[in-house]
Amino acid sequence: MDHVPTARAIPRRGRGTAPADETVEPPVADWAQVEQALRAGDTWPFWLSVVREDRSPHVRPVFAAWAGASFFIASKATAAKTAHLQRHPDASIGVALEGLHLVVEGRASRVTDPDTLARASEAMREVFDWPTRVDGDELDADYGAPTSGGPPYRVFELVPRTAYAFPTADQVQPTRWSFPRAT
């Protein structure tokens, strides 16, 4: 794990929100277990939320490969989400993991340097078993998702600021993680 976020429980408020067994307070969710699930590659779909030029929401399924400190997202140069990310880089990714729903908020930036593109390519292979290769300032592949528009793809790196875990039962508390800022 490259950086460890700070976890705290999100207070439960309102009628019917207390744990079923009110005598035992569940722990906060464990980020290491979340990371393990993200790296396993069997989590799908990831939902990317960005804003359009008029500030209305734009939500699309994406491959989002967790690489230890950030997500790498591949997107066709002509895709609407690419234009939206370039204009408004604040974004979130949501996914259902076993036992909880995860939302990660952060800032996305386009990746063009060969070393970071190589890390993104490796993450796509490790997480999704998707072989990509660096081609100039994009990733190329022999195939892509049916709705992707086909390769090549621009790559964006979403660095998390905050993440939220919303449990589907009372196995953990609703949890908010704050990530350390890069210096």
Domains of the chain from N-terminus onward: 27-172 (2.30.110.10)
Structure tokens at 89: 């880089």
Quote the Cα angle for 82-116-151, to 5°: 45
pTM of the model: 0.90
Taken in order 147, 149, 151, 156, the sign of the CA dihedral is negative
pLDDT (tens digit, 0 to 9) for every residue of the chain, 183 residues total? 456 899 888 887 776 666 666 667 789 999 999 999 999 988 889 999 999 999 999 999 998 999 999 999 999 999 999 999 999 999 999 999 999 999 999 999 999 999 999 999 999 999 999 999 999 999 999 998 877 888 999 999 999 999 999 999 878 999 999 998 764
Backbone angles phi, psi at 39, to 5 degrees: -80, -15
